[in-house]
Amino acid sequence: MSQAAAGASGLPRHVAVIMDGNGRWAQRRALPRHLGHRAGAKAVRATVEGCARRGVEALTIFAFSSENWQRPPDEVTRLMELFVESIDREVDELHRNGICVRFIGDLSRLRAELGAKIAAAEARTAANRRMTLFIAVSYGGRWDIVEAARRLAARVVAGEIKAEAIDEALFADQLQLAGAPEPDLFIRTGGEQRISNFLLWHLAYTEPYFCDTLWPDFDDAELERRLGEHRREPVAQVVSRSHRRVAPGPDPGAQPCPAVVGG
């Protein structure tokens, strides 16, 4: 399916996911938590493949939140190692499959080795257009909004723009997902029904789907069911979506991977 056809067919253009439940998945098997995260990384692969195959234009996954820095140091270290390994293992195939990889979040907090791998993965896949995979690491929705405000304030102080010129579109352009279509489906696994400082600005109009499935068990069949239900959503919701104040993103078929904000 072409990317432009995705929105028209009712398939979400952009899916955003909180991948919760790795720890409990491990605990139920009497395994250490880090093995739950490893199993979670496998589920990421299946979801990336599933979304790309069906013609979803963008997938954003919450891999590590601003709050996750407070987890026990050993768990944080193992997660960072897993990110390094995953980049090493997956980027070639993502590239072969036409997927543009972008990391969003406060990357200045990451170790130099991981930062360098991220920069290389982004540069390598920058021209790919089939789907953009946004990986949120050290990300918080409030952080994103504060950073955007700071950048705009600096431009006002520098005399580049007037404060009155700041509107929703200009503000959104400063956020980490600038240029991407707004998420139209938000999935959270693991049983909790909250946004947990994920994409606070972007989820304003997004259809949420909360499920009890633990993230490592979230498979292609569940993705397919959820995408199918999204396609069949009531006409009233489709109409109200078409009246959003923020226009959908550009046709990605004609656009390269969105530029890095503040980069």
Interface residues toward ligand FPP, by CB under 6 A: 19-24, 37, 40-41, 44, 63, 68, 82-83, 86, 135, 190, 215
80: its two tokens: 């960072």
CA distance 215 to 218: 5
3 state DSSP class of 219? coil
Residue closer to ligand FPP, measured from CB, 96 or 245: 96
Q: Which residue's C-beta sits nearest to ligand FPP?
A: 23
**C-beta of 32: minimal distance to ligand FPP in Å?**
11
CA atoms within 13 A on the CB side of 144: 26
Give the residue from 127, 122, 263, 147 showing the smallest Cα distance to 200. Answer: 147
d(CA 144, CA 136): 11
Tell the smallest beta-carbon distance from residue 85 to ligand FPP (Å). 8
Residues near 176 by beta carbon (within 8 Å), at least 6 away in sequence: 104, 105, 134, 136, 139, 144, 147, 261
- In whole angstroms, how close is the CB of 214 to ligand FPP at the nearest point? 7
The residue ranges of DSSP E strands in 52-130, in sequence order, are 58-65, 99-104
CB of 174: closest distance to ligand FPP in angstroms?
A: 25
* 19 versus 223: smaller Cβ distance to ligand FPP: 19
Work out the widest C-alpha separation in the chain, in whole angstroms. 59
Residues annotated as catalytic (active site), given as ranges: 20, 68
135 phi and psi, to 5 degrees? -110, 115
Is the Cβ of residue 3 or residue 66 nearer to ligand FPP in the bound state?
Answer: 66
Q: Is the Cβ of residue 196 or residue 255 nearer to ligand FPP in the bound state? A: 196
How many whole angstroms separate alpha carbon 76 and alpha carbon 217?
A: 22
Closer of 201 and 215 to ligand FPP (Cβ)? 215
Three-state DSSP class for residue 2: coil
